[in-house]
Every structure is written in structure tokens, then in C-alpha cells.
Amino acid sequence: MLSASQEKVLIALLKEKLARILAIDPGKTTGFSSFDQQNPMVARTWQKECTHDEFVNELNEEWPNVIIMESFVHTHRTGVDYTPVEFIGLTKWFVERRDIILVEQTPGYGKAFFDNDKFKKMGVYIASLPHGMDAQSHLYQFMMKYGLIDLRLLK
């Protein structure tokens, strides 16, 4: 949840069309999806297996001022992969050292509206990038909340 001051800064960035947004689905294979209000035609989605250094390099290369991160929900089962927790920690470390707004979304919230069927209708579905599509779900959910996406694309 954003503080009142962070929400104010976020609204100002969006209003001035200065937001450089990076959505992240952390894991052994991490999904990324980016959108730059200054250059909206260069939005992209990708995924990769990252070391910690490579993950931070991805953040540095994108240089976002808003990061949307899928949160980690612990389930009581054996064989839990804690890699997402490591990347969430790295992201929090990264944003603390820069002027970046961090928005966390639960896995269910990020995928509540935008699923692969909707992405297919919009012409932005990439079957070979399942983790990238998860990050894209978080990005589009954020964009919908703040009025940055035209839902008429789904008709």
C-alpha cells in the first residue's frame, strides 16, 4: 500500500506523462513488462533466468521510477521455492537507494482481470513467455487502475 505522499508523487508522474513503469513477476524465471509514458510504442515484455547481479542489471537498464512487484504469498506446502523472496528483497533494496515508487500486488490481484484470453484479444499475448505474461498482467492491472489503458481494446 502506498503512503499518501507516494500516491501524490505517483499521480503527478502519471499526470505529467513521466512514468517509466516496470512490472516484475519474481522467480527462478523472472517475468518483466515495461511501459514508458514518454515512449508508449516501446512497451515490452520479456523473461529470463537471472542471477542476483543480472536481476539488478535489469532494473538498472530499465531505470524505472515506478516498479510493480508481485508479492510472495507463503503456502504451507513442501518444496517451496524462495527465489521470489530474494528478488523482492533486492527490489526493495534497489528502490530504497533511488527515487522509485514500489507498488506490490498479490498474485491474485495482478491476474484478476487481465488473463491470456484478454491479451489474445488485445493482440499482446506471447505464448512463449508465461512469466512475462504474468508481469504484463500486473502492469495492465496497474494501468487500468490509473486510467492508462483503453478497455475498448477488449471489444
- pLDDT tens string for the chain (155 positions)? 789 999 999 999 999 999 999 999 999 999 999 999 999 887 899 999 999 999 999 999 999 999 999 999 877 777 788 899 999 999 999 999 998 999 999 988 888 889 999 999 888 999 999 999 999 999 999 999 998 887 776 76
Residue located via cell numbers 496497474: 142
- Beta bridge mates, 29: 49
Residue 154 lies in a domain: no
Residue 123 lies in a domain: yes
Residue 155 lies in a domain: no
Residue 153 lies in a domain: no
Return the pLDDT at 68: 97
Please give the C-alpha separations between residue 12 and each of 8, 83, 118, in angstroms, as whole numbers. Answer: 6, 34, 29
Residue 91 lies in a domain: yes
Residue 43 lies in a domain: yes
Helix ranges, 16-150 (H): 52-62, 83-96, 107-110, 116-122, 130-145
Return the pLDDT at 73: 83
In sequence order, what are the residues at sequence separation of 6 or more whose Cβ sits closer than 8 angstroms to the Cβ of residue 129? Answer: 31, 45, 46, 47
Residue 32 lies in a domain: yes
Return the pLDDT at 149: 84
Containing domain of residue 136, as a range?
A: 4-72+79-146
CATH number reported for the structural domain that contains residue 26 in this entry? 3.30.420.110
Report the predicted TM-score, pTM, of the whole model to 2 decimal places: 0.92
Residue 152 lies in a domain: no
The total number of structural domains in the chain stands at: 1
